[in-house]
Amino acid sequence: MTRQQQAAHSFRNLHTSGFIMPNAWDAGSALILAAAGFPAIGTTSAGIAFSLGKQDYRVSDPRLAVSREEMFGRCSQIVQAVALPVSGDLEAGYGDAPEDVANCVLQAVEVGLAGCNIEDKPTAQEQLYEPTLAAERIAGARQALMAHGADLVINARTDAWLVGEGDPLAASIRRANLYLEAGADCVFLPGVTDLPTARTLVREIAGPVNLVLGLGGSSGNAHELLAAGVRRISVGGSLARAALGFVRRSAELLRDSGSVAFTDGEISGPDLNTLFAATRAAA
């Protein structure tokens, strides 16, 4: 069994009991998260985009979108840095057709990812794929993996809650079950953080339910959601946005007062050197 196959197998098993999976945007952030003791790490398309000075999700100019090559390049760096399973945020699979998503998941296997998210919202559009096409895209990915004897945990993401497709609860449940039937291992429903809705999703969806915290604020608690039956809690780009928020506040403090008080909570250079050497040694 290859390292990638072992990672996919371990990652799939994590969804039987529930876990927290923070999201990294580069090798350094991945190493810090790994050292904190999490069992797996996700990438964040938002964090990667922002680290490149580009846009995410609602892209106003195609020139500001992260290319497929840039995204997979950063995913590869994160995979190589840590010994943990890594799940890649691969947006909508870099194409509308099932064949495009099939090629995307095969490339994910090549770079060593254990899993990936595939969204049902086309890039730079404010509408979702028609449900049948969205399910066919997941089916195409699963069939390609099977044809190549490859393993990858497919986390089918529906943005029904974010886009507001009719009754978002009913639409999310309907789409989630369609995607599971098509071959997804689990489903991801960003926009839900409250316990009553989470319990409904867990009850009505025939597979592992994954949610994200920090998308639009600090509401929700990962431990409480896991106790309610949610199988995976990620944080998307919230760590990256918080880090950039700290950079901006620190820059304004330095500009306005000349103070470098922002260094009070920093990790020292020697500590980072030690952490990175120890964590990479295990990869």
Q: What are 207-250's pLDDT values in tens digits? A: 999 999 999 888 999 999 999 999 999 999 999 999 999 999 99
Residue type present at position 131: P
Q: Where are the domains of the chain?
A: 3-281
CATH of domain 3-281: 3.20.20.60
Token pair for 28: 């350094």
Cα 224 to its chain centre, rounded Å, is 20
| Cα distance between residue 276 and residue 9, in whole Å | 26
Q: In whole angstroms, give the CA distance from residue 159 to residue 274.
A: 40
Tokens found for residue 12: 């799939």
**30 and 41 in contact (C-beta within 8 Å)?**
yes
Give the tens place of pLDDT for each residue, 155-188.
999 999 999 878 999 999 999 999 999 999 999 9
